[in-house]
Amino acid sequence: MLVKLETQPVESIDAALTVTLLTPETLASHPKKSVLEQAGFEAKEGQTCMLHEGAEYVAAVTAFEPDALRDAMAAAAKSISGFAYESAKIAQYGLENAAALVEGIVLGSYKYTRYKSDAKPSKLKTFYVAGANYDGSALDADALKTAVDGAVILATATNFARDLVNTTPDDMVPADLAIIAQDLADANDLGCEIFDEHALEEEKMQAMLMVARASAHKPRMIHLSYVPENPVATVSLVGKGLTYDSGGLSLKPSTSMVTMKMDKAGACAVLGIMKAVSELNLPVAVHGFVGAVENMIGGNAYKPDDVLFARNGKTIEVRNTDAEGRLVLADVLSYAQDNVEADYLFDYATLTGACVVALGPYTTGIMGHSSALKHTIYGAAERAGELVGALPFNPHLKKALKSEIADVSNISNIPYGGAITAAMFLDHFITDGMKEKWMHFDIAGPAYTESGWGVNPHGGTGAGVRTTVALLRTLAEK
């Protein structure tokens, strides 16, 4: 489906269906008020009404503000793509809401159909967005175009990340993820370096290699780079790319293993962000690093009791092979810091079930040393319409990672605070100079949904993409 920005007001756009957003206040002056009220539509939260005569679809919003519009448009786009209309149109509801409105359309009409043999493509081909507000007032045309184009890029990049997350583990092994990254680099003129298992050996990335050892599919590290002329800042992103997490010898129970194709969502977010920043031409240099590995069982699997030699020289006692993401990230974080001098370092990972327990399934846990950076991220997430919550480090939890035989244990020796101890494990692989510039994003909760919520249908959500792009935009302005 194409989103097309028109210059005229909504009334003069030629489209099969008109979509209207109404609050209880604007319902009062709507020409079809009485028929809507007869149908029980009071513009209460979540209400919609399809008036086939006159071809108008109305949806309630609590207020004309970005979050409400994004969600309402996502629900509307999903619902009307099931009808027979080939085109739809909608007015603007203020310049400040234009991006969210378009994001809602693109995110809400997303459907993953790769494995459906009878997938029927949606009849809705074009969604026109007007050049003026619903009340007829004019808008700055250039600013509107920038907002709409940016929103299409951002939401499409989010859908790209969703597609990757949704791809089944047999169709997306580490080498496949590397091919996707290479294709993205070719299409968007990015730098791209792929490290196979031999190159990883040369880099002494034994922690990552040990996680990968029992898999028939060899690991890859991916380094994509977007370097515009005279960048105002340099940012490194690191993504956990477990194309499947069986738990390894500390095998997951069968019900927990289902959905573990999503354990590559951090990597997919990084690729989605790379796509977005390069298409938005942001004036920030962005390096995306991905550790792509499959965590399996087998005769040569790494074991609880093994001690691993990480790239940065630290030794790690393995006490649970299901705490594998942090081992992969340890080496990739180390590589990223040694090879790119960055102003900021962010990592994205479906790292712990404990983060989902702590914050619920809708919220990303952010962890790191800098309060200022956390506040900047709060602001970015709020603008992007994603949820984040900070979980604080403390010295008592740090002690829980002590190992009697190695420098650090890969799991905590207490059963609580698992999201924080995982992040504090990663902290062992952050250099002193980068401590204040680093933030860890645990996306285990929001990266994947089996029930759908907000702008997210079943499956991968692209969590982290929108917040990070908002954050990079903020950093670009600083």
Residues contributing to the site for ligand BES (CB under 6 A): 245, 263, 320, 322-325, 350-354, 411, 418, 444
- Order of strands, edge to edge, in the sheet holding 315-317? 307-309, 315-317, 408-409
CB of 273 to Zn ion, least distance (A): 20
d(CA 73, CA 238): 32
CB of 274 to ligand BES, least distance (A): 22
User: Which of Zn ion, ligand BES, none does residue 444 bind to, with CB < 5 to 8 Å depending on kind?
Assistant: ligand BES
Alpha helices in 286-345 (DSSP H): 325-339
Instruction: Enumerate residues 6+ apart whose C-beta is below 8 A from 81.
Output: 1, 109, 111, 122, 123, 124
User: Which of Zn ion, ligand BES, none does residue 320 bind to, with CB < 5 to 8 Å depending on kind?
Assistant: ligand BES
User: Which of ligand BES, Zn ion, none does residue 354 bind to, with CB < 5 to 8 Å depending on kind?
Assistant: ligand BES
User: Which of Zn ion, ligand BES, none does residue 352 bind to, with CB < 5 to 8 Å depending on kind?
Assistant: ligand BES
CB of 339 to ligand BES, least distance (A): 25
Classified as helix, coil or strand, 302 is coil
Closest to Zn ion by CB, 418 or 457: 418
d(CA 201, CA 209): 8
How many of the other CB atoms lie within 10 Å of CB of 40? 9
Closest to ligand BES by CB, 21 or 333: 333
Q: Is the distance from CB of 17 to CB of 51 less than 8 angstroms?
A: no
d(CA 330, CA 201): 15
CB of 406 to ligand BES, least distance (A): 16
Closest to ligand BES by CB, 340 or 357: 357
User: Which of ligand BES, Zn ion, none does residue 126 bind to, with CB < 5 to 8 Å depending on kind?
Assistant: none
Span 308-327, contacts to Zn ion by CB under 5 A: 322, 324-325
Closest to ligand BES by CB, 188 or 259: 259
> Quick one: which segment of 4-12, 210-218, 236-244, 429-437 binds Zn ion (CB under 5 A)?
236-244
Q: What angle do CA 358, 70, 30 make, to 5 degrees?
A: 135
The catalytic site residues sit at: 252, 326
What character string, x for contact with Zn ion (CB under 5 A) and - otherwise, covers 267-306?
Answer: ----------------------------------------
| Longest Cα separation, the chain | 76
> Quick one: which segment of 104-112, 148-156, 260-268, 306-314 binds Zn ion (CB under 5 A)?
260-268
Length of the chain: 478
Whose tokens are 């905590």? That residue is 412
Alpha helices in 203-298 (DSSP H): 206-212, 254-257, 265-280
d(CA 173, CA 368): 30
Closest to Zn ion by CB, 317 or 324: 324
CB of 248 to Zn ion, least distance (A): 7
Residue 67 engages Zn ion in binding (rule: CB under 5 A)? no
d(CA 291, CA 221): 5
Closest to ligand BES by CB, 26 or 320: 320
Residues that bind Zn ion (CB under 5 A): 242, 245, 263, 322, 324-325
